[in-house]
Amino acid sequence: MSLLSILIFLPLFAGLIIVVLPSSVREGYKYVALAAVIIQVLISAYIYLHFNGNVFTGIADQNKYQLVERLPWISLNLGAMGKLQIDYFLGLDGLSMPFMLLTSVVMLVALLASWEIKINLKGYFALFLLLDTAILGVFSALDFFLFYIFYELMLMPLYFLIGIWGGVRREYAAIKFFLYTLFGSVFMLLVIIGLYFSVTDPATGYHTFNMLSMMDPKNYVEGSIFSALAHNELFGVSARLLGFIVLFIAFAIKVPIVPLHTWLPDAHVEAPTPVSIILAGILLKVGGYGILRVCVSIFPDAAIQSAWWLGLIGIVSIIYGALNALAQTDLKRLVAYSSISHMGFVLLGIASITPEGISGAMMQMISHGFLSSMLFFLVGIIYSRVHDREIPHFRGLALIMPKFSAFIMIAFFASLGLPGFSAFIAEAFSLIGAFNSESINGLLPRWMAVCGTLGILLSACYFLWTLQRMFFGETRLFGGEKWKIQLTDVNAREVTALCILTAFALVLGIMPSLAFDKMNASVLELIRLVNLK
Amino acid sequence: MSALITITILALLLLYLGLFKAKKALLPVALIGLMVALVLSLMEWDSNAAPIFSNMMLYDRFAVAFSGITIFLTILIIALSKDYFERISSNVAEYYALILFSLAGIILMVSYHNLSMLFIGIEIMSVSLYILAGIKKRDFASNEAALKYFLMGAFSTGILLFGVTLIYGASGSFDLEGIKQYILKDPTAVSPLLYTGITLLIVGLSFKVGAAPFHFWVPDVYEGSPSLISAYMSTVVKVAGFAAFLRLIMFSFAPLQDFWIPMIIGMSVLSLLIGNVTAVYQQHFKRMLAYSSISHVGYMLFAIIALNGSSDNAVFVYAAAYSVATIIAFGVLILLQGQVGNDSFDSFNGLARKNPFLALTLTIAMLSLAGIPLTAGFIGKFMMFSKALSSYHIFLVVFAALNAMIGIFYYFKVIVAMYFKEEDRKELIVPVYFKLVLGFSALVTIALGVYPDFIASLI
Amino acid sequence: MEVQSLPVDYLPILFQMLVALGFVVLTMTITHLIGPKRKTADKLSPFEAGIEVVGNARTPVSIKYFLVAILFVLFDIEVIFMYPWAVNFREFGVEGLIEMFIFMATLLLGYIYVIKKKAIEWGD
């Protein structure tokens, strides 16, 4: 059992312990969970420190992955179709390794936010840890079937976490979230099966779910449905393009892109704070990671073909999300829409298929992981105090919650791309990639980059306006004196969580090389793979 | 073969136990006897089995696997019958005996090598079931179910028999091998009688498995029958009917694919559509299960559409997954009906708080039926989808995938009611037998989902 | 099958059916036409064995009649199996004898069950 498996199944194990523990020690559940997550952070930090970004470039070569673990898992005899070979296949490269660390840290923060959860603790922490396992699994799985299993496994705990511990309309939000994601993934499954029938493992000759084999056009069976040479058509569209589109939609729902984003505000508003943190901090990144790892790598030709549209969708998401955020009166909704806007940069960066753009997209995902977690954590603090988060109900919070206001200013400025914070680097790189794309590979026109810049401007608008409305001026609160007493400043636990996130945002902003060094080689390798076509 | 004899003797034994007032012994004897039958049947695992009794039966791997699963499922269901029949009337021994007689018919149905054996098997099974559906004599719904089932069953048997005679008329043989040889001799010039015969056989068997458009009796019969019998009908009987269907087509009619595939595709599409869409509108759990069982037939038909050497495996896995999950659902339903007296979705409200174990097992069952990964149901659906895709039925699979989405919607109604809706309610009392069956079935569901190698390459 | 049958071979059957049907229809029509018609109240009323009819014809009958009838049919049909066995007694040999004994034992078990259940007792 490698370090990676331990990392993945440690939370599951802790979850089982919680399930078995008697309910007389219910106050102890969170400490069990905390212990597991802290160990997880330590392991992923160890992995980060020992990851050699220049050697382990990953992408299409198994030998270039670190911590590879490959065990046969399911093998079914399918008669004439040969053998169904599914491996338990894990590994890390520059694209996935940063997310392991991100997941661990965001999970730690989410767990610190879970102190507010009061009902049904056993179920909550068990599901929380199951979710943790699933997410770590998604980021490290290299077998497409395994990837799918982990991907789907994320849904169930989230569904229950939103549905049981959520707000008033939790039932609606939970099923909407579930159906949206499942809609994408059911069709993803069909493409996976199609790919399976098209690809053979060069070593054994059997059909395989190995993602790395799928990236090599040589492994495709002659004339098979997704073979690049066969130019098959399905429903009048090139089969490979169709496969790409289906996979893209599946992940794009997660990102989310406009117009498939409508589950996100609902889910965020109804979800409890820790779940919002996980949703925004990690789950949206699963979408971006999936597009890079699966869509672009397996269907590079289709990716180039549809790059323009990807870029357009990115721009639309940036602008539409930002405009919507401007119009919100619910603070949590505002943050949710700002997430949509920021994730648009990820798509824009990926669409450019330039080293700068993809690095920027990766960086944006990481930075947004920390910053959106921070934003949702901060919103959660207000909500847990007075159970209200309407922006007009608050004014002059800076006077009664100075420390809290300081953190929110950091979070807002960092999010709107103030130099010195990670978001600046990320958005700058994405935009540079999009801008250079016309001269490097001619995929994206320059005006897209210009429109993207407009998004940064808009984000400044809504963040600063909110800051002005809620925190400056004289203290006037909807709930009057009662609220004034309830709105205590941040406590030690909250400060810990916020400081962790601030530190990450700041460090990555000042020394982006800490992240870039680890992933640069992989990004270049990915681009080399795409340009082979 | 010895399993068949054991089951028949066991049924007679139970009848006599009932005569001599040994009611306490009925359930244990039935369970032990069935376990013996299961072991005996698995001991005949032999890949080179030859037809026996003048080519009447063939106890090959297919037969062993399917009789194994049907006996296994019957054990689970009978274990749920503790105190169930006593509440209906005092003729408990007869009920057990009837279930076992129908199981004997089922063993015939999965191991026949001659169409007359198929017919006899179906009749033995059906006649027992007609009675079992109506054992609640004072209940109008139960009476209606029994009568409806009898009329529809008799009707379909007639059609089936007509098909058999036509096939005999064309090929001059009741023997599966003989029919196959006749077709293989010149597949392009078979008698038109044979085509009619195949059509009628397919129609007759579709009645038995409840595939649309021959599904009308399913909701009423499943709803009206006593829940335990519904559980038996929607799992064991359905699996057996499907196995008989598959055996017939795999053995004899495979060369005439072009003729019957369009029919099966039509039935599959209709079953999926009708089953899923109608299930969404149901307010009662039991009726929902009935419609969902129709939709699952639609998925199982995929294995016949993409017929090849591994179809039996796919059906086996799917049927096992579906049946085990359905047994959990019916187990909870029996408890609920017995103690609340209602099975509308509202009566599940707040169950998670009072009976976390029941809620958890039912959730696992629903997830499995909906085909969520890491449950057995997902592996089943996955195998079906990959089979259909491997023969390029892309439209069909896309359609099925859409239907799977609809399925989520109604299966989750129960989960929503149990977990998300609060209500003051009394805790349901869960007898030990129920705990064992539900817990075991849930474990099986998860185990198959995580590591399907156990059963997936059996046949 | 070697013997091919053509539609024309079924012609005699058709003829026989026509003749049979024709005979029935013809005789009924003719008696109806040429027979004398005298209608009286007594002749038109339903009668049975000279006794006047009382009440509804569809009164419930004790299930026992039905039960006995069914049991009779069952055991009667089983006897049919014994004829072919008796005819081929020599060919079947000892094995056939054992099989027949098993068959008879099963029947006997059923019979004992029926008696024990008091299915053929008239009682109350």
Q: Which ipTM was obtained for this model?
A: 0.86
In terms of Cβ atoms closer than 10 Å to its own Cβ (0-12, 13-18, 19+), residue A157 is buried
Instruction: Give the residue from A76, A119, A171, A176 with the most B CB atoms within 10 Å of its CB, the best one to mutate.
Output: A76
Q: What is the DSSP letter of A231?
A: T
At B115 the pLDDT is 92
Number of domains observed in the structure of chain A: 1
Q: Binning pLDDT at 50, 70 and 90, where does residue C1 land?
A: very low
Range of the domain at B257: 2-456
Tokens 């721009």 sit at which residue?
Answer: A315
Q: Does A16 touch chain B (CB under 8 A)?
A: no
pLDDT at C32 exceeding the cut of 50: yes
Neighbors of chain A by Cβ distance (3+ pairs < 8 Å): B
Amino acid at B155: F
Under 8 Å between Cβ of A18 and A125: yes
Give the closest of A171, A175, A190 to B401, CB-based: A190
How far does C57 lie from chain B, in Å, by closest CA? 25
Number of domains observed in the structure of chain B: 1
DSSP β-bridge partners for residue A234: A237
pLDDT, greater one: A476 or B99: B99
Q: Does A175 touch chain B (CB under 8 A)?
A: yes
Residues 6+ apart with CB under 8 A from A357: A348, A349, A350, A351, A429, A430, A432, A433, A434, A436, A437
C-alpha distance from residue B413 to each of A57, B288, B419, C95 (Å): 46, 10, 10, 60
Q: Beta strand pairing status for A66-77 and A83-92?
A: antiparallel
Quick one: three-class SS letters along A140-208? HECEHHHHHHHHHHCHHHHHHHHHHHCCCCHHHHHHHHHHHHHHHHHHHHHHHHHHHHHEECCCCCCEE
Q: Does B342 touch chain A (CB under 8 A)?
A: no
Q: How many CA atoms lie within 13 A of A136 on its CB side?
A: 28
Q: Does A79 touch chain B (CB under 8 A)?
A: yes
Mean pLDDT, range A310-316, rounded to an integer:
92
The average confidence (pLDDT) of chain A is 88
CA distance A203 to A192: 20
Give this prediction's pTM: 0.87
Is position A211 within any domain? no
Amino acid at A317: S
Residues of chain C neighbouring B172 (CB-CB closer than 8 A)? 1
Under 8 Å between Cβ of B131 and B88: no
Residues of chain B neighbouring C117 (CB-CB closer than 8 A)? 19
How far does A160 lie from chain B, in Å, by closest CA? 8
Q: Does A226 touch chain B (CB under 8 A)?
A: no
Q: Does C10 touch chain B (CB under 8 A)?
A: no
Q: Enumerate residues 390 to 449 of chain B having a beta carbon within 8 A of any beta carbon in chain A.
A: 390, 392, 394, 397-398, 401, 404-405, 408-409, 412, 416, 419-421
What would the two tokens of residue A270 be? 């109804």
Cross-chain residue pair B172–C106, CB shorter than 8 Å: no
Helix, strand, coil shares, percent, chain A, to 5 = 75, 5, 20
Neighbors of chain C by Cβ distance (3+ pairs < 8 Å): B
Cross-chain residue pair C1–B172, CB shorter than 8 Å: yes
Q: What is the DSSP letter of C52?
A: P
Neighbours of B283 (CB within 10 A): 11
Q: Number of A to B CB contacts under 8 A, please give it.
A: 90
Cross-chain residue pair B19–C116, CB shorter than 8 Å: yes
* B447 φ, ψ (degrees, to nearest 5): -60, -45
CA distance C32 to C25: 11
Sign of CA dihedral B103, B109, B112, B118: positive
Q: How many CA atoms lie within 13 A of A148 on its CB side?
A: 29
Under 8 Å between Cβ of A188 and A148: yes
Under 8 Å between Cβ of A47 and A93: no
pLDDT, greater one: C9 or B36: B36
How far does A258 lie from chain B, in Å, by closest CA? 22
Choices 1.10.10.10, 1.20.58.1610, 3.90.330.10, 3.40.190.100: CATH for C7-116: 1.20.58.1610
Give the closest of A76, A174, A186 to B456, CB-based: A76
What would the two tokens of residue C59 be? 């009164």
Quick one: three-class SS letters along A78-108? CHHHCEEEEEEEEEECCCCHHHHHHHHHHHH
Closest CA to A170 of A156, A179, A159, A181: A159
Residues of chain B neighbouring A75 (CB-CB closer than 8 A)? 453, 457
Cross-chain residue pair B19–C106, CB shorter than 8 Å: no
At A118 the pLDDT is 82
Query: Per residue in B198-215, pLDDT tens?
Result: 999 999 999 989 898 889
Cross-chain residue pair C113–B172, CB shorter than 8 Å: no
Residues of chain C neighbouring B192 (CB-CB closer than 8 A)? none
Residues of chain A neighbouring B453 (CB-CB closer than 8 A)? 74-76
Per-residue tens of pLDDT for chain B, all 459 residues: 788 999 999 999 999 998 887 788 889 999 999 999 999 988 888 767 788 888 888 888 889 999 999 999 999 999 998 888 888 888 888 999 999 999 999 999 999 999 999 999 999 999 999 999 988 888 888 999 999 999 999 999 999 999 999 999 988 889 999 999 999 888 888 888 889 999 999 999 999 898 988 898 999 999 999 999 999 999 999 999 999 999 999 888 888 888 899 999 999 999 999 999 999 999 999 999 999 999 999 999 988 888 877 788 889 999 999 999 999 999 999 998 888 888 888 888 888 888 889 999 999 999 999 988 889 999 899 888 888 887 878 888 889 989 988 888 899 888 888 888 888 888 888 888 899 999 999 999 999 888 887 776 666
Is position A373 within any domain? yes
* A390 φ, ψ (degrees, to nearest 5): -70, 130
Cross-chain residue pair C117–B19, CB shorter than 8 Å: yes
DSSP β-bridge partners for residue A390: A330
**Torsion angle of C-alpha atoms B340, B343, B348, B351, degrees rounded to 10:** 40
At A343 the pLDDT is 92
At A79 the pLDDT is 57
pLDDT at A533 exceeding the cut of 90: no
At B267 the pLDDT is 93
Query: Per residue in A382-421, pLDDT tens?
Result: 888 888 888 888 888 888 888 999 999 999 999 988 888 9
Q: Does B331 touch chain A (CB under 8 A)?
A: no
Nearest-by-CA chain B residue for A87: B451
SS3 call for B47 = coil
Closest CA to A382 of A372, A369, A391, A373: A391
Nearest-by-CA chain A residue for B373: A149
Give the closest of B308, B313, B412 to A80, CB-based: B308
Q: Does C18 touch chain B (CB under 8 A)?
A: no
Nearest-by-CA chain C residue for B169: C1
CA distance C85 to A61: 76
Range of the domain at A465: 306-533
Neighbours of B270 (CB within 10 A): 17
pLDDT at C47 exceeding the cut of 70: no
Cross-chain residue pair A77–B382, CB shorter than 8 Å: no
Cross-chain residue pair B385–A190, CB shorter than 8 Å: yes
DSSP β-bridge partners for residue B344: B284
Under 8 Å between Cβ of A267 and A159: no
Is position A77 within any domain? no
Give the closest of B386, B404, B405 to A193, CB-based: B386
At A82 the pLDDT is 64
Give the closest of A74, A79, A196 to B452, CB-based: A74
Is position A125 within any domain? no
pLDDT at A233 exceeding the cut of 90: no
What percent of chain B has pLDDT above 70?
99
Nearest-by-CA chain A residue for B395: A235
At C120 the pLDDT is 77
Q: Does A237 touch chain B (CB under 8 A)?
A: no
How far does Cα B451 stand from its chain's mean position?
Answer: 23
Under 8 Å between Cβ of B104 and B123: no
Q: Does A45 touch chain B (CB under 8 A)?
A: no
Where does A271-330 have alpha helices with state H?
A: 273-278, 284-290, 297-298, 300-305, 307-327
* A66 φ, ψ (degrees, to nearest 5): -95, 155
Is position A452 within any domain? yes
Q: Does B450 touch chain A (CB under 8 A)?
A: no
How far does Cα B318 stand from its chain's mean position?
Answer: 11
Neighbors of chain B by Cβ distance (3+ pairs < 8 Å): A, C
Residues 6+ apart with CB under 8 A from A199: A207, A208, A210, A213, A214, A219, A220, A221, A224, A226
Treating both helix axes as pointing N-terminal to C-terminal, what angle do B61-79 and B432-450 enclose, rounded to 10 degrees? Answer: 140
> Considering only A149-158, A347-356, B308-317, which range has the smallest mean pLDDT?
B308-317
